Structures are given as structure tokens and as C-alpha cells.
Structure 1
Amino acid sequence: MSNPSPPPPPSNFDFLAIRSECNRIIKADSRNFHAIIFLLLFPISLPLIFYQVFPIKTLGFNLLYTLTIPILSLFATGSTTYSVSHGFHDRPVKLSSAFKAALTSFFPLLSTWLLAQLITAVLGSILGLAFFSLFKATQVDYSSAYFLLLCLAYVTSLAFIVVYLQVNWIFAYPIVVLESSWGLEPLKRSQALVKGREGVASRIVLFWGFFCWLGTWSSMLRLAVSACDELKIWASFIQIITIPAASYYPLFMCYNLVVNTVFYMNSKALRGEFAGEYASLPSDDDDGKVSPAVSIV
């Protein structure tokens, strides 16, 4: 007698279900994820915290730190994505294997990241030229309310473009690591894979993006405020926000990578790209657990 066919993956895999699955994966392999945080992500936040207490204005230090951020972030992306994919399949992974995957995927990730930054910069520049042409055509005064309104419209439009791109490219880095792709292909593949689930992707991008970049943006804001004598009184207040945000940055960054990978794995399952072999995880019950997630047998 043949075995019954496995049930299809649930279509209601929402943000809460993703978070529940992430917690399961992290708990099952906590040592691995703690090692990734300590070795790859913590060195990013440490100089940021040190800089808030003892500001260093040398160009060499700032340049070195700026280059270190994407390098360590991409290594963390490769190792975390690889670890999550194995945890999603309930297969343990050694830390050495995760770091080997990070080394293998570093240059493909770098090429994809550079291309994404280039596309974003080009679109931002085109938008900036459009607003600058409008400003020149209207010949408004810098101190007028219309100029401030024009600047606000530019910032809002740019933010919308960035969020739109991040939503469509949310699977780009997991695709690079797990599908051996690079350059423009992961961006196009991610845009196709996220169709129909833009709502969940938007919540992930906005929620985790806010926490991940709070420390960095507040640090830049404090630097700008310190340079202006009239605003120096706000420097200490901004520092109160920056130091805790920078301290928790490694945790937020790691969790964001886990969320993106779990979301990617489930989206593939919903499209039937795992040969239909599914196993349901614990479902919603009286204990307050969320709807079932999907794993692969």
C-alpha cells in the first residue's frame, strides 16, 4: 500500500510564524549562531561603541572601519544563511562548515551587494537631478517653506525607492549562498520569488531594518550634531540612543539574516521547489504558539 502524499505547505506563513521558526532554528543550534555573532558581528559594533565614548576623527580609522562593515557583514551573511538552511532541514552543521560556506560565497555576495548599491545610487542620483532641476526651474529661496517641502519630498521619494528595492531583493543574499548565483541574477530571481508575499517582506524590511540601522544612523547624526555649535546640546541625548543600539546590533543583524533565510525557504516551498516533501512543525495550540511552519524531510 503506497504512502499518502504529503500535505502542501501552509499559505498562511506570516511574520509571527516566521519568527517562531527562527526561534526554533536558533535554539537548536545556539552555539553556532553565538559564535557567528561574537566572531563576525560583534567586531562591527565594538568600534561604534568605542567611537561614541572616545571620538576618533582620523581619516584612516574611519576609512578602515567603513571597509570592515561590509566585509564582516558579508561573511556573517554567508555563514548564517548556510547554518539556517541546514537548521530548516533539521540537519546540524559544524561551525567550520559554516565558515567555509562564508568563504566560498564571499565574492558572489560582494558582487551582488556592489551591484545593488550601484543600482540604488543611480536611481537616487536620477531622482536627485530631477528635484534639483525642479528647484532651479522654480528659483525658490533656500529659506522658504517651498524649499523645505521640496527637500522633504525628495527624502520621502528616496526612502520609498530604497524600501521598494529592499522588499524585492529580500531573497537576493540567500539565493547567492544557496543557489550558487551572483550579480544581477539573484536580484531578478528574488523579485520573481517574492511576488504575492510583498506584505510580509515589507514588514520584515521595515521592522528589522529600523533596528539594524538605528545604531549606525544615530552615530552619523551625532557626528553631524557635534560639528554644529548650535546643536551640540543634543549630542549627549543622541549618545544615549546610539550606545545601546550599537550594543544590540549584532543580535538584530543575525536575527534579520535568519528571518530572511527562513522566509526564503518557505517561499520556495510554497512554489513547489522542494519536490513536495514537507513535514509540518508544531501547530497553533492553547499554549499560544503560532501557525505551523514548514520544514523539509
Structure 2
Amino acid sequence: METPPPAPSLSRTGVISVSKRIVKDNYFHFIDLSFLFQPLAIAILITPVLRLSGHHHKSPIHHLLCILTSYILSLSAIAAVTFSTHNAMQGKPIKLFTSIKTLTTSFFPILWTAIVIHLLQFFISLAFLVLVGSIVAVPQNLGLGFVILDHENPTEFTWWLHAVIGGTLLVILVFFQANWSLAYPVVVAESKRGLAALIRSTYLVTGSRLVSLSLLSYYGVSGFLLVLFYTDVELVNGSFDLRNWPTFFTTFAGTCCLMMYMLMSTVGNTVLYMHCKALHEVDEQFAKIVTVASNSSTIMIPSATSRPPANPLSTTGILSESNRVLKVNYGHFYTLSLFFLPISFSIFTNPNLRLSGELLSGELFTGDHLHSFLHKPPLFHLLTLYILSLSAIATVTFTAFHGFSGKPIKLTTAIKSLKSSFFPLVSTSILIHILLIFISITFLVLIKSIVVLLQNLGLGFVMEYENSIYLATGFALIVINICFYLNWSLAFAIAVTESKWGFEALVRSSRLVKGMRSVSLYLLLYFVSYGGLVVFVCTDASGSRRSPFVFPVIFGSLFLMMMLLVSVVANTVLYVRCRGLRGELGIEVGEKRVCFKLDSDDEKVSHVVTVGAGA
């Protein structure tokens, strides 16, 4: 077999184009990994503002811990994103757990390589400054009166001299960074570390050093301008307070942009590594992975038809199928989502449901406030919200489940299904609430018994609201409830579609979700995070004098309504996938038994009738 000719040089535009394509094909996967960049992005964004505005009063130890945490999470993000990009370009399926697990083998090599790079940059800078100092010392020793730095009488010449020295040092460091830019992909893909990774990177980047410099300048300058713009905006406002919703929104938007810059730069670096590897070591494997069009100088990665489709059992696959189901019957689903509107609206307008500030301040636990709180909510109001929400879950689940067959479901049919599914759903919901309350009480009694035992032993253990043990106990209780909820996450879908209720539905859910709990957890975190963020922003905005009350409430209510709709559809899709995983794809629809699937290439839901009525 003839060896294909070396690929021509790649341009910065080509690298960015391929990077965008890879991220777009695995959008949710890379977005999840990008959250590891969040601490560093926040630190880079707000630290200049805090220092310039005089709000930075943290202790050195606290500051050091923040730096170490951001540094470790950023290196973890680089390792995971590099691994995912490398596998995606090879056409391999990528999973979030697999990318995270690679940290067990790649984190310490990447950490050691990063430390070596920092040490080399430090010694290069030190050697350069010593050299400059030696050169400047010559005219001083000759009595020429040459002074490089005079704090008392600075001149224009000394300022320009410092600018030239600083610019020269920056150019030298950027040049070395361009040579070592592929070190992290080398560590992840080839298991090399330290100086070996730097030497390998220098060899691979030969011939593409200008592309590396261009990428480094592109993302570096863009990020610097973003931080500069944010700092200027906040300093002009005069007060930096994240409790002020315009400041919070600006910080949130800037952090997201900076996170995306870091994500895209890491993906682009890995794409450049794959190209350079193909350029220097053209063989059958990498010639198929990376082919450069001679005219456009753009990497052509395998097309969607040649690569395996997205894993339907992943979080991305579940959300993708949910969007397709919604798109086919969007009018039907949007009508049913109106059942969610009352509870969505109440979350923003009812003071009794907006307890976040009271919980954080501790005012909720005072005797008078607790007594008034327990007597404020009208029972009829709560029952109405509860009934409408369960009705929405029942009708949306019924429609999404039967919509897989491709048969249009009438709105009246979905409403009529409440006669057979509402009471099983209510009984299952009440049972879940009772069990969660019982589990919480049991856990708190156990913790209280342990505290009393420690106090009786004379250890002087005191558990107060301000105590960190109190917060740890609350966090542990939340984790325990989430674990049980994950086992019961399919109970509502089972109550609607299989007419099982109570303990039978919970046991059935625990069996079906086995092996898919991670997907259920990611779906829960996904919807809770985005929904909670919208509630926080819109609730704070509605209380601000800078914006009319009605607009944040309307926007937040509609958005939360859609989030609840999509979450129920996604839960139904997960239920169907869990049944399919266990060979239960046959569903009774009318008088026929059908098998259904979602065609990943089509925009509509397709179905195939496999067994007739007489089967």
C-alpha cells in the first residue's frame, strides 16, 4: 500500500472550524466538562475588579487555597476535554464518565508537565532579566550615569525602556509556549510527561508553529479584551455586589464566555495536535482521521454518516430524542404545558415559595416566623397546584410514550387518560413524599443520637446552625434523598403507562433504572441547575427597582414551564430506553403490538409495526 503524501499546512480558520464541529456534535458532553473551567474563569474575571475597587480582603491561606483549587480543576478540564476531542476525531463514542475516569491516569502526568513548563518559564524569565541587568550595569560601571529605574524621577525614556524589556520577555515566553503548546495532548494521547512531552511537542509543531502562535494570540487576546471590558464596566458602575442582579448577570455572562474560550482553545489545541501528528507520521490510521483539502486547507473529519451515531442511552441522546418528540407534536405539548403554568407562576409570585433568602439568613427557623409561615399557605391553593402539576405529568407522559409509535395523539385523548392514570399517579406521589420524609427524619434522629452520645462522653460537641457540621449534615441528607429519588425516577412514567402504583411502581422503577442511574442523575442536575438559575435571576430581578416586576415574572414563568415540560418528556424517553435495554420494546398500541425507535437521521419519529393483532 502506498503511503499517502504529507498533508499541507493547516490554517487557524481550519482548526477553529473543526473545533466548532466537534463541540457541536457532542455539545452537552463538552459543556458539562467546561464547568471544570468555571472557578478559574470566575477568578480571572473578578480578581482585577476586587483588587482595583478595594474589596479584596481574603487571607493569604484562603487565597492560596482558591488558586490551588482553580489550578487543579483547570488541569482536570484540560485532560478530560483533550481525551474527548481525541476520541471524537477518531470516530469513537465518548462518554462523560469515561472522560472523567481518564484523570486517574492522565492527571498527575499533566500536573508534572505543567510544573515543568512553569519552572522553565520562570528560569527563562530570570535568565533574561539577569542578562538585561548585566548589560545595563556596564554603562553604570563606566560612569555614564545610566539609570534603568528611578521611582522618584521617572522619565519617558525609562518607561519606554521598561515597555521594550517587558514586550521582549513576553515575545520570548510566547515563542516557547508555541513550541510546547502540544505538550498536554501528548501527555493524554501518548502517555509522555515532563521534558519528554515538551521535546515531543516541539518536534510535532515544526511546520505549524505559525498556526500555534495564531491560535494562542486569538484566544489570548480575545480573553484579555473580555476581562478588560468587564473590569471597565464594573469599575464605571462604582460598586461591585453580586447580589445586585445587573452585576450578577454581567459576571455570569462573562464567566460563560471565558469558559467557552478555554474550552475551544483546548479543543483547538487537540485538533492541531492530530493534524501535526498526521503531518509527521502519516500512516493508515491518521490518514483516515485527518485529511486536509488541498484548496481550502481545512481538516475534513469523518462525516456524520461514517461515524457512529450518538449513544441513545447517554444524557445527550435522551435530550436529543426528547427534542424530536416535542418537535413532532409541539402544539400538542405546548398546550399540555399550560398545566405547569400555575406552579411556575407561583414560584415567582408567592412569597411562601421564595424562601431562599430566609433560609440563608436563618430567619425561617425563628419561632414567630415559622408559626406564621405554617399558617399562611391556603390549603386550596396548594392542592390546586399539586393536582394541576400531576395532571400535567400524566398527560405529557401519556402523549410522549404513545407518540413514539408515530400515531398522532389527540388532545382530548390525552386529557381522557387522566381517568385511568391520575389516581395511581397521586398514590405513587404521596408514597414517595412519605418515604422521603421518613428517611429524612430517620437520618436526622440518627445524627442527633450521635451528637447526644458525643456530648454525654464529655467531648463538648455542639451542633449549631452556624456550625459547618450542620451544613455537612444538610448536604448529606440531600445526597441521600437524591439517591433514593434516582431509583424512583421512573415511577411516574410506570404509573401512567403500566397502571402500576405505590410500592409496585417504585420496585419496578428501581429495576428498570439499574445501570442508567448516572443518566438519570445528569438529567436531574441538568434541569435543576438551569431551572434554579432562572428562578434565582428572575426572582432577584423582580425585586430590583431597576426593572419592572412583571417582565422577569412572565419570562421566568414561561421558561420554567418549558423546563418542566422537557423534563417530563426526557423522563419518559429514559423510561422507554430502559425498557428497550431489557428487551421490552414491544408496546401495545390499540389492537396492534408495535416496536418503535427514533431515527437519528430524520427529524421525525418513525415506527415499524412488527406483530399483528393476532400475535
| Residue 68 to residue 116, structure 1, CA distance change in 2 (3 Å) | same
TM alignment of 1:23-38, pairs within 5 A:
23-38=323-338
- Local SS of the residue matching 1:13: coil
Q: Distance in 2 between matches of 1:61 and 1:127?
A: 28
Give the CA deviation at 1:214: 6.1
Q: Residue by residue, what CA displacement relative to the aligned partner does 1:16-56 show, whole Å, maximum 9, x if unpaired?
A: 11111111111111111111112x1112222333336xx99
Given the alignment of the two structures, is residue 63 of structure 1 paired with residue 362 of structure 2, yes or no? no
| Residue 69 to residue 296, structure 1, CA distance change in 2 (3 Å) | farther
Q: Distance in 1 between matches of 2:374 and 2:534?
A: 20
| Residue 247 to residue 63, structure 1, CA distance change in 2 (3 Å) | farther
Q: Distance in 1 between matches of 2:400 and 2:497?
A: 11
1:266 is matched with which residue? 577
Structure with the larger RCO, 1 or 2 (CA within 8 Å, 6+ apart): 1
Q: Which amino acid aligns with 1:16?
A: T
TM (normalized to structure 2)?
Answer: 0.38
Give the CA deviation at 1:202: 1.0
Q: Distance in 2 between matches of 1:207 and 1:130?
A: 31
Q: Residue by residue, what CA displacement relative to the aligned partner does 1:210-266 show, whole Å, maximum 9, x if unpaired?
A: 3456677x69x99xxxxxxxxxxxx759x99x8454442211111100000011111
Which of 422, 433, 437 is residue 117 of structure 1 equivalent to?
A: 433
Residue 391 of structure 2 contacts residue 418 of structure 2 at CA under 8 Å; is this kept in 1?
yes
1:172 is matched with which residue? 491
- Local SS of the residue matching 1:120: helix
Residue 405 of structure 2 contacts residue 596 of structure 2 at CA under 8 Å; is this kept in 1?
no
Give the CA deviation at 1:117: 0.7
Which structure 1 segments of 5+ residues have no match? Answer: 1-9, 223-234
Give the CA deviation at 1:296: 5.7
Q: Distance in 2 between matches of 1:215 and 1:295?
A: 37
- Local SS of the residue matching 2:500: coil
| Residue 278 to residue 248, structure 1, CA distance change in 2 (3 Å) | closer
Give the CA deviation at 1:89: 1.4
- Local SS of the residue matching 1:281: coil
Q: Distance in 2 between matches of 1:295 and 1:159?
A: 41
Residue 22 of structure 1 contacts residue 258 of structure 1 at CA under 8 Å; is this kept in 2?
yes
Q: Distance in 2 between matches of 1:189 and 1:69?
A: 27
Q: Distance in 2 between matches of 1:206 and 1:183?
A: 25
1:251 is matched with which residue? 562
Residue 395 of structure 2 contacts residue 417 of structure 2 at CA under 8 Å; is this kept in 1?
yes
Give the CA deviation at 1:200: 0.7
Residue 49 of structure 1 contacts residue 247 of structure 1 at CA under 8 Å; is this kept in 2?
no
Which of 398, 402, 413 is residue 86 of structure 1 equivalent to?
A: 402
Q: Distance in 2 between matches of 1:59 and 1:212?
A: 28
2:316 is matched with which residue? 16
Residue 127 of structure 1 contacts residue 154 of structure 1 at CA under 8 Å; is this kept in 2?
no
Which structure 2 segments of 5+ residues have no match? Answer: 1-309, 355-371, 456-460, 587-593, 610-615
Q: Which amino acid aligns with 2:491?
A: A
Given the alignment of the two structures, is residue 184 of structure 1 paired with residue 503 of structure 2, yes or no? yes
Given the alignment of the two structures, is residue 105 of structure 1 paired with residue 421 of structure 2, yes or no? yes
| Residue 296 to residue 136, structure 1, CA distance change in 2 (3 Å) | farther
| Residue 71 to residue 277, structure 1, CA distance change in 2 (3 Å) | closer
2:27 is matched with which residue? none
Give the CA deviation at 1:196: 1.1
Give the CA deviation at 1:157: 1.4
Residue 397 of structure 2 contacts residue 568 of structure 2 at CA under 8 Å; is this kept in 1?
yes
Residue 131 of structure 1 contacts residue 150 of structure 1 at CA under 8 Å; is this kept in 2?
no
Q: Which amino acid aligns with 1:176?
A: A
Q: Distance in 1 between matches of 2:531 and 2:422?
A: 21
Which has the higher Rg, Structure 1 or Structure 2? 2
| Residue 213 to residue 79, structure 1, CA distance change in 2 (3 Å) | farther
TM (normalized to structure 1)?
Answer: 0.76
Runs of 4 or more consecutive aligned structure 1 residues displaced over 6 Å after TM superposition: 55-58
Given the alignment of the two structures, is residue 137 of structure 1 paired with residue 423 of structure 2, yes or no? no
| Residue 118 to residue 296, structure 1, CA distance change in 2 (3 Å) | farther
Q: Residue by residue, what CA displacement relative to the aligned partner does 1:139-191 show, whole Å, maximum 9, x if unpaired?
A: 434569xx713212211211111111121111100100000111111110010
Q: Distance in 2 between matches of 1:99 and 1:212?
A: 27
Q: Distance in 1 between matches of 2:521 and 2:607?
A: 23
| Residue 132 to residue 43, structure 1, CA distance change in 2 (3 Å) | same
Residue 77 of structure 1 contacts residue 102 of structure 1 at CA under 8 Å; is this kept in 2?
no
Give the CA deviation at 1:269: 1.2
Query: After the TM superposition, which of the residue ranges 203-212 and 13-22 deviates more from structure 2?
Result: 203-212
Percentage of pairs with the same residue: 28
Q: Distance in 2 between matches of 1:256 and 1:88?
A: 17
